[in-house]
């Protein structure tokens, strides 16, 4: 595994020659048995140490590598970029420090200059209380900027640096739209104008000087471009829930609406990149008569969608993969791990070889591929791998570890496996089960995911590993109604909140308890958003099973939340209200069933202690849902605690708050299992 201690990582730096067809020789990352040595689990605080590396990038020609490194702490951030000769990836690195900033991403503008998106603290502001002259301390403000770093000289230029007024007043100036592969001195960037409208700018990466190309509409927040020509524009509604996709074919002057799509819940339209056919681009979409989302061409003149490329039955595309020139390489899917359907079959050999190199236990994401398709950057993560970056040179037959997010030894983490769960009505669902370090039987924590039309994947999940480190097993079921498995699978959960979707969770629990000999008298449940609903509904339906329930930013009253969506959805046709009506139920038809499926209205049936957490400024699910759930439990004489997180939205708080909350969650479960 990539996230192991330094000695083991050194052994991973360079392995044997590529064999035959060019694949890596299959060698174990660790000696047999070493991966599960009997060593102590990590204390909770270890999972919240500052990130070490935050990214790696390969220059377009594949000659240089950059790695972003964090040098400070969360309270006192400092960052640097290490530059590496790709011909000698294990040789000496050249470090250029960027100062008191946090690097969020890096990308090469050309083979000489690297662009780093950085976050810096602007100031601590004071503000007036409404209706009074009293001044109170405000919050810390952060700004996002993009800096251009010359890999040879170390010269650093801030983009937009010629526009001082904009630099002082605009918080986010880090949105790169197009790297312009055919124009190495410039990139396209979006930035807010003084009147609150977003503009599109051509920015020189050598000088930082910016020239505005066009202005967006009143709701514009993003563009997509092909060879420097904007072809898609994304306009957002006032709530931030629905975007309107505007299209303009090359040579046209007016934008036209192509479609409206959801932003948060099961988005049904995603950008991939340029297509091979002039006047067409590649997007991820699903037609009405299709089950899975696929990569396909979209005609910019007619907005018509073409036939699917690389479809896979029962699996939705996760994303499309381009090379450094923007050429389409293939589509990514989640099966047993991350997998690709490559347009060039020769690439599949190398991806399979890299999977074998990591013992088929990690997801190997190609993040950068050079123009020759010979050198690659792979971001590797997995249930026991918190994230590392590797350089793979096909011709040199070598793989080199470049950096890692956290220094956590897999031997001290919980091992994960995929369960195939047979449900009570004869269906099959997948669930991910993580053992505590050492794998001894014990209590079980159930973590139903949010959405609900998303899915869990076999990836790193800090929450899972924190709980596993306490000696507990952790179960993540992909119940029917989840996304990622095609529309048919998702539809099997529509209007089945509180029954079929909940039954799938309980069937997964029964499977795990039976298969691993776990302690069925010590089971807890916890989740965020829809997962919070499932946690509280589980406590309603199975008071015999769950000893504690934790709900984070949840929905607990279905008729109330539908009424709220009805009031709040100001988009023509009310697409978000319609979306939730299809999935939760029609209030005019299913009123009694929706009430029966609402934990708030059945609080008297809950017997276990409950902890509720909610961001005060949550725009997705209103705080009132948690307050009313708390009040209902109190009125029923139940044990409940509500933690309101100030200056936070939908579970988007900082690591320090998450560590504090996880400490509380662990204490709640530990007491319940005592």
Give the chain's length. Answer: 674
Per-residue pLDDT, averaged over 393-418, amounts to 94
pLDDT, average across residues 378-392: 97
Ordered by where they begin, the domains of the chain are: 57-215 (no CATH), 410-673 (3.40.50.1820)
pTM of the full predicted structure?
Answer: 0.91
Nearest to 262 by CA among 617, 580, 584: 580
Tell the burial category of 7 from Cβ atoms under 10 Å away from its Cβ (0-12, 13-18, 19+): exposed
Contacts of 99 (CB under 8 A, 6+ apart): 78, 79
Average pLDDT of the segment spanning 275-282: 91
Helix (H/G/I), strand (E/B), else coil: 89: coil
Predicted confidence (pLDDT) at residue 5 exceeds the cutoff of 90? no
Which segment of 12-26, 177-191, 626-640 scores lowest on mean pLDDT? 12-26
pLDDT band at 18 (very low <50, low <70, confident <90, very high): very low
pLDDT at position 263: 80
Would you place residue 542 in the very low, low, confident or very high pLDDT band (cuts 50, 70, 90)? very high
pLDDT tens-digit series, residues 49-58: 999 999 999 9
With 50 as the cut, is the pLDDT of residue 27 above it? no
> Is there a contact between 455 and 477 (Cβ–Cβ < 8 Å)?
no
Q: Is the pLDDT of residue 22 over 60?
A: no
Of the pLDDT bands very low, low, confident and very high (cuts 50, 70, 90), residue 570 is: confident
Mean pLDDT (whole number) for 31-42: 54
Segment 227-245 shows an average pLDDT of 91
Sign, Cα dihedral of 434, 439, 444, 445: negative
**What secondary structure does DSSP assign to 560-625, as a single string?**
HHHHHHHHH--STT-HHHHHHHHHH--HHHHHHHHHHT-GGGGGGG--S-EEEEEETT-SSS-THH
Q: What percent of the chain has pLDDT over 90?
A: 78
Instruction: Return the minimum-mean-pLDDT range out of 124-128, 201-205, 420-424, 516-520.
Output: 124-128
Quick check: 26 pLDDT over 80?
A: no
Alpha-carbon span 373 to 387, nearest angstrom:
23
8 Å CB contact between 186 and 171 = no
The band of 267, judged by pLDDT with boundaries at 50, 70 and 90, is confident
| 83-105 mean pLDDT | 95
Q: CA 448 to CA 671: how far, in whole Å?
A: 21
β-pair type (280-285, 269-274): antiparallel
- Please give the full DSSP string across 335-372, using - where no structure is assigned: SSSEEEEESSTHHHHHHHHHHHHTTT-SEEEEEEE-TT
As a whole number, mean pLDDT of residues 310-327 equals 91
Q: Rounded distance, CA 159 to CA 179, Å?
A: 13
The whole-angstrom separation of Cα 671 and Cα 674 is 5
Quick one: average pLDDT of 92-116?
95
The token pair that represents 445 in the structure block = 């924590």
506 vs 580: CA distance, rounded Å: 24
> Bigger pLDDT: 165 or 103?
103
Rounded to whole angstroms, how far apart are CA atoms 109 and 101?
20
Q: How far, rounded to the nearest angstrom, does the alpha carbon of residue 274 sit from its chain's CA centroid?
A: 24
Residues paired with 151 in a beta bridge: none
pLDDT digit string (tens) for 126-138?
Answer: 544 444 444 445 5
pLDDT band at 39 (very low <50, low <70, confident <90, very high): low
Given a contact cutoff of 8 angstroms between Cβ atoms, the answer to whether 328 and 321 are in contact is yes
Q: Are 614 and 623 in contact (CB under 8 A)?
A: yes
Which residues make beta-bridge pairs with 401? 390
Report the distance separating Cα 217 and Cα 431, nearest Å: 44
Please determine, for residue 16, whether its predicted confidence score (pLDDT) is greater than 70.
no
506 — pLDDT class (breaks 50, 70, 90): very high
Residue 460 has pLDDT above 90, yes or no: yes
Per the CB < 8 A criterion, the answer to whether 476 and 458 are in contact is no
Average pLDDT over residues 484-501: 96
Looking at the chain, the whole-number percentage of residues with pLDDT higher than 70 is 91
Q: How many CB atoms are closer than 10 A to CB 281?
A: 22
Record the tokens describing residue 409, joined without a space: 């030894």
- Which 3 state secondary structure label does DSSP give 559? helix
More confident residue, 203 or 4: 203
Q: Of 114-123, 379-388, 562-571, 624-633, which gets the smallest average pLDDT?
A: 114-123
List the 385-393 sheet strands across, edge first: 363-369, 375-382, 385-393, 398-404
pLDDT at site 124: 52
Compute how many other C-beta atoms are within 10 angstroms of the C-beta atom of residue 251: 9
CA–CA dist 669, 524 (Å, integer): 7
């Amino acid at each position: 595994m990539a996230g192991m201690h330094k000695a083991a990582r050194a052994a991973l730096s360079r392995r044997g020659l590529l064999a035959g067809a060019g694949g890596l020789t299959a060698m174990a990352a660790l000696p047999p048995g070493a991966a599960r040595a009997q060593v102590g689990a990590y204390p909770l605080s270890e999972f919240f140490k500052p990130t070490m590396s935050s990214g790696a990038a390969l220059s377009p020609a594949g000659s240089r590598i950059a790695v972003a490194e964090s040098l400070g702490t969360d309270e006192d951030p400092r960052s640097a970029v290490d530059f590496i000769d790709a011909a000698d990836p294990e040789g000496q690195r050249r470090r250029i420090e960027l100062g008191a900033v946090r690097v969020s991403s890096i990308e090469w503008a050309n083979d000489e200059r690297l662009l780093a998106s950085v976050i810096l603290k602007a100031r601590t502001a004071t503000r007036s209380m409404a209706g009074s002259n009293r001044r109170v301390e405000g919050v810390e403000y952060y700004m996002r900027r993009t800096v251009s770093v010359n890999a040879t000289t170390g010269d650093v230029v801030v983009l937009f640096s010629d526009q001082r007024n904009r630099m002082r007043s605009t918080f986010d100036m880090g949105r790169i739209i197009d790297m312009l592969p055919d124009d190495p001195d410039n990139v396209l960037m979006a930035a807010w104008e003084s009147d609150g409208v977003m503009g599109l700018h051509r920015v020189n990466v050598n000088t930082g000087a910016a020239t505005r190309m066009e202005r967006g509409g009143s709701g514009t927040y993003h563009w997509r471009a092909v060879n420097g020509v904007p072809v898609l524009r994304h306009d957002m509604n006032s709530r931030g829930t629905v975007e309107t996709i505007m299209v303009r074919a090359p040579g046209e002057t007016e934008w036209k609406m192509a479609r409206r799509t959801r932003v948060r819940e099961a988005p049904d339209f995603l950008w991939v990149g340029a297509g091979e056919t002039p006047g067409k681009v590649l997007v991820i979409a699903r037609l009405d008569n299709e089950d899975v989302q696929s990569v396909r061409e979209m005609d910019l003149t007619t907005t018509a969608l073409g036939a699917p490329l690389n479809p896979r039955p029962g699996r939705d595309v996760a994303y499309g993969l381009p090379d450094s020139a923007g050429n389409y390489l293939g589509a990514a899917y989640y099966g047993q791990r991350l997998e690709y359907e490559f347009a060039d079959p020769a690439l599949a050999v190398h991806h399979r070889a890299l999977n074998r190199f990591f013992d088929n236990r990690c997801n190997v994401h190609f993040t950068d591929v050079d123009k020759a398709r010979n050198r690659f950057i792979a971001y590797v993560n997995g249930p026991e791998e918190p994230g590392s970056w590797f350089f793979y040179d096909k011709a040199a037959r070598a793989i080199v570890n470049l950096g890692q997010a956290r220094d956590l030894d897999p031997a001290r983490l919980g091992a994960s496996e995929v369960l195939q769960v047979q449900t009570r009505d004869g269906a099959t669902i997948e669930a991910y089960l993580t053992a505590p370090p050492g794998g001894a039987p014990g209590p079980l924590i159930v973590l139903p995911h949010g959405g609900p039309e998303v899915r869990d994947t076999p990836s790193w999940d800090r929450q899972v590993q924190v709980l596993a480190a306490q000696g507990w097993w952790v179960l993540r079921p992909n119940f029917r109604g989840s996304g990622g498995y095609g529309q048919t699978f998702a539809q099997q959960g529509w209007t089945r909140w509180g029954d079929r979707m909940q039954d799938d969770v309980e069937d997964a629990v029964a499977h795990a308890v039976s298969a691993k000999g776990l302690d069925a008298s010590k089971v807890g449940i916890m989740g965020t958003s829809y997962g919070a609903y499932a946690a509280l509904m589980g406590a309603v339906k199975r008071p015999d099973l769950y000893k504690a329930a934790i709900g984070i930013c949840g929905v607990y009253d279905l008729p109330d939340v539908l009424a709220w969506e009805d009031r709040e959805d100001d988009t023509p046709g009310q697409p978000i209200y319609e979306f939730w009506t299809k999935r939760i139920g029609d209030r005019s038809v299913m009123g009694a069933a929706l009430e029966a499926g609402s934990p708030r209205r059945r609080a008297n049936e809950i017997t276990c202690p409950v902890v509720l957490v909610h961001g005060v400024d949550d725009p997705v699910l209103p705080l009132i849902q948690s307050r009313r759930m708390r009040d209902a439990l109190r009125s029923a004489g139940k044990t409940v605690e509500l933690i309101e997180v100030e200056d936070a939205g939908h579970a988007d708080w900082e690591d320090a708050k998450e560590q504090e909350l996880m400490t509380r969650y662990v204490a709640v479960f530990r007491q319940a299992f005592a």
